[in-house]
């Protein structure tokens, strides 16, 4: 089994091609569709790089796996499937909960399905999936979102936004239906219980301190050096830290654009009567007096 990583510098996202050189079977994890909020421009440079690699290596693409519905980049799953029609787009079956939440949040049309039918396959926790000569198991790891899944290929884990490199810690948990408590149990009970030599391939690398790109670590390194959650840290400590940290973070700049595309399996909205496609962006009105009221409530709640 070989692993080829592709790094999108605009969103600090890692896309992986897992493949068997002998059989030519392959799986792609978390492809990126390029998007610039200025002018709402979409293009396919990142998807094209992955597609070129698949073709150059003569690989057969069986699955396009999503670790979750990303909030910081548009998914390239649909574009990649258009290039490789034999591939199936798959995600954890709890994506239906995320669809329900954001259908309400974004006031999507009544006809928008929330049963996951946009995806070719909804994966169950604990199942093993065959992709030609490759096989992977599905480990649900909710917390960042309720639908996060980690994929295990032999001794290699692809964790999406649950675990980053040890010097970056863990993903945030403040999105609708996210849970720091769930993340704590996902990591400590489902990932940290695996052999320490198990390789971990992360979904993002933000290169803290300007260091070189890094995307591979191990369960042992995470347990002993993760800056947010070392082995032995209590649930109470982690939830307190994660909740306080998340309150300081701005929303991802592509949150609304990404979510409404990604819960639809990477499909862009259909063209409207004028031939153009539109994304819905809610307006959040900020008033200074609202901030003052919030501060008073926070102080009252803290005694």
* pLDDT tens-place string over residues 140-161: 999 999 999 999 999 999 999 9
pTM of the model: 0.93
Report pLDDT digits (tens) over 199-252: 999 999 999 999 999 999 999 999 999 999 999 999 999 999 999 999 999 999
* CA–CA gap between residue 274 and residue 105 (Å, rounded): 26
Residue 288 has pLDDT above 90, yes or no: no
Which domain range does residue 91 map to? 2-301
| Eight-state DSSP code of residue 219 | H
Q: How far apart are CA 93 and CA 91, in angstroms?
A: 6
Percent of the chain with pLDDT over 90: 91
So what's the pLDDT on residue 293? Answer: 56
The answer to whether the CB of 128 falls within 8 A of the CB of 119 is no
Domain count, the chain: 1
**Strands annotated E in 50-142:** 60-65, 74-75, 88-92, 121-123, 128-131, 134-140
Write the CATH number for 212: 3.60.15.10
* Rounded distance between C-alpha atoms, residue 150 and residue 134, angstroms: 16
Q: Is 245 exposed, middle or buried (0-12, 13-18, 19+ CB in 10 A)?
A: middle
Half-sphere exposure of 278 (CA within 13 A, CB side): 8
pLDDT at position 303 is: 42
The string of pLDDT tens digits covering residues 49-65 is 999 999 999 999 999 99
Per-residue pLDDT band for 73 (boundaries 50, 70, 90) equals very high
- Would you say how long the chain is, in residues? 303
Q: What is the pLDDT of residues 241-262, one digit of tens each?
A: 999 999 999 999 999 999 999 9
Residue with tokens 């954001």: 102
Tell me the C-alpha distance between 260 and 118, whole Å. Answer: 12
Element at 99 (helix H, strand E): helix 95-105
């Amino acid at each position: 089994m070989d692993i080829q990583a592709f790094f999108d510098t605009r969103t600090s996202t890692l896309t992986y091609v897992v493949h068997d050189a002998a059989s030519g079977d392959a799986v792609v994890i978390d492809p990126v569709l390029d998007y610039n909020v200025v002018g709402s421009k979409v293009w396919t440079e990142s998807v094209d790089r992955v597609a070129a690699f698949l073709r150059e290596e003569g690989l057969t693409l069986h699955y396009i796996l999503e670790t979750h519905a990303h909030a910081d980049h548009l998914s390239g799953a649909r574009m990649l499937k258009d290039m490789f029609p034999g591939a199936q787009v798959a995600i954890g079956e709890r994506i239906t909960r995320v669809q329900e939440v954001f259908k309400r949040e974004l006031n999507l049309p009544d006809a928008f399905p929330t049963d996951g039918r946009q995806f070719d396959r909804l994966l169950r926790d604990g199942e093993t999936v065959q992709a030609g000569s490759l096989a992977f198991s599905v480990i649900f790891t909710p917390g960042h979102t309720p639908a996060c899944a980690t994929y295990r290929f032999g001794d290699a884990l692809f964790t999406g936004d649950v675990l980053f490199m040890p010097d970056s810690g863990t993903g945030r948990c403040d999105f609708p239906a996210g849970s720091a408590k769930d993340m704590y149990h996902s990591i400590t009970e489902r990932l940290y219980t695996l052999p320490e030599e198990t390789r971990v391939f992360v979904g993002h690398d933000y290169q803290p301190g300007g260091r070189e790109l890094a995307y591979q670590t191990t369960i042992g390194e995470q347990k002993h050096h993760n800056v947010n959650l070392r082995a032995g840290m209590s649930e109470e400590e982690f939830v307190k830290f994660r909740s306080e940290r998340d309150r300081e973070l701005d929303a991802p700049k592509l949150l609304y654009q990404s979510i409404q595309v990604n819960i639809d399996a990477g499909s862009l909205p259909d063209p409207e009567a004028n031939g153009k496609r539109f994304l819905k962006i809610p307006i959040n009105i900020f008033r200074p007096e609202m901030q003052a009221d919030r501060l008073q409530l926070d102080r009252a709640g803290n005694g």
